[in-house]
Amino acid sequence: MWAILSIRVENKPGILFKVTHLFRARNFNIDSISVGVMENPEFSKMVITTVGTEKQIAQIVKQLDKMIDTIEVKRLDEKESVYKELALFKVKLSDASDSAEINKLANTFGAKIHNEQENSLIVELTSTPDEIKSFEESIKSFDILDSARTGVTAL
């Protein structure tokens, strides 16, 4: 089972370390993680996606809640929340027609093109992990030189 955890923490050094350490020490998995300061700079929001049994996920939530640095821990409902991830792919342009084809593909997924050069470009897609996966599958027929993902963030 896949779960999205939204964790509001005090914006202090060392907390990311403690949260990730908790996952390791308790034998839980981190699927993705994203962190940013909130509108009130006293707090940061961490969004962690994780995979486990129902019982494990309930236990992760409780252990995170128990941490003194966490203010609020929520498990977000996939259906009722917005969850997105940003992915960047650097793609090689081998043929003259590649650029047009990639642009077309990007259009259908709502992705943006950046840094177009003679032999490469960067595609940016903000979407759900599933959509990003299928975009990745489609673009695989071109040569992916490099890629990076931010991890899921959610509200």
Partner 1 sequence: MNDKMEIMNGGKALMKALEKEGVKEVFGLPGGANLPMYDELFKSNIRHILVRHEQSAAHMADGFGRVSRKPGVCFATSGPGATNLLTGIATAQADSAPMVAVTGQVPVNMIGRDAFQESDIIGMSNPSVKYAFQPRTVEEIPEVVKKGFYIAETGRPGPVLLDIPKDVQQNEAKVTFPEEVRMPGYHPWTDVDITNIERAINLLLSSEKPIILAGGGTIISSAFAELQSIAEMLMIPVVTTFKGKGSFPENHPLSLGPIGMHGHAEANKIMTEVDCVLAIGTRFSDRSVGTFEEFERNLKIIHMDVDPAEIGKNQTAQVAVVGDVKASLRVMLKILAKKALKKSDGNNWLKHVNEVKDYWRENLKLHPGEMSAAKILRKLREVLPKESIVTTEVGQHQMWASLFFDAIHPGTFFSSTGLGTMGWGFPAAIGAKVARPDVAVVDIAGDGSFNMTENSLATSVLEDIPVIVFLINNFSLGMVAQWQRTFYDRRMIGIDLKKCPDYVKLAESYGAQGIRAQSLDELGKAIKVGLNSDVATVIDIPIDPEEDVLPFVAPGTSLKDMILPS
CA gap 6, 53 in Å, rounded: 18
Neighbouring residues of 131: CB distance < 8 A, sequence distance ≥ 6: 109, 125
Instruction: Tell me the C-alpha to C-alpha distance, in Å, between residue 51 and each of 38, 67, 88.
Output: 26, 20, 24
Q: Does 35 bind partner 1 (CB under 8 A)?
A: no
Tell me which stretch binds partner 1 (CB under 8 A): 67-75, 98-106, 120-128, 140-148: 67-75
Given a contact cutoff of 8 angstroms between Cβ atoms, the answer to whether 110 and 125 are in contact is: yes
Tell me which stretch binds partner 1 (CB under 8 A): 58-66, 80-88, 118-126, 135-143: 58-66
DSSP classification of residue 103:
H
Q: Does 9 bind partner 1 (CB under 8 A)?
A: yes
* Two structure tokens written together for 94: 């081998």
Among 1, 58, 100, 155, binds partner 1 (CB under 8 A): 58
Among 40, 41, 53, 55, binds partner 1 (CB under 8 A): 55
Q: Smaller CB distance to partner 1: residue 50 or 127? A: 50
Residues near partner 1 (CB under 8 A) are: 9-10, 14, 17-18, 21, 25, 55, 58-59, 62-63, 65-71
